[in-house]
Amino acid sequence: MKRTTVLLGLLAAATISHPAAAQSADGRLLASGCFQCHGTNGVNGGFGTLAGVEKKDMLDKLNDMRRKPARDNIMNAHARGYTNEQLDLIADYLSWLPKP
């Protein structure tokens, strides 16, 4: 049992220390706010599906929202609340989610 626990611990440490894994975890955390309206993992919410949208397309949409007045649409205000780096992480994470 101890050997299994040690191996799992090492695997977890290797995964967390890998930059891609950390980026994915950061993107998932940031995207969790999207799931309130767009559904769990960006599917089956009251608004459009986000899962599996190409990263470039998502970034284009989010950046377009940032350029519009925040009061015009709730998403415009949300998009303005993130840095470029955070939007990149969100778009990357959502692009890797399986399309429904």
Class of domain 20-96: mainly alpha
Alpha carbons 84 and 15: distance in angstroms, whole number? 25
Alpha carbons 65 and 75: distance in angstroms, whole number? 7
Instruction: Work out the burial of residue 86: count CB atoms within 10 Å of its CB; fewer than 13 is exposed, 13-18 middle, 19 or more buried.
Output: middle
Domains in the chain: boundaries: 20-96
Specify the higher pLDDT residue, 28 or 6: 28
Chain segment 21-70, per-residue pLDDT in tens:
566 789 999 999 999 999 998 999 999 999 999 999 999 999 999 999 88
Q: What is the pLDDT of residue 22?
A: 60
Chain segment 34-44, per-residue pLDDT in tens:
999 999 989 99
pTM of the model: 0.74
Q: What is the pLDDT of residue 8?
A: 46
Q: Is the pLDDT of residue 14 over 90?
A: no
Q: Is the pLDDT of residue 16 over 50?
A: no
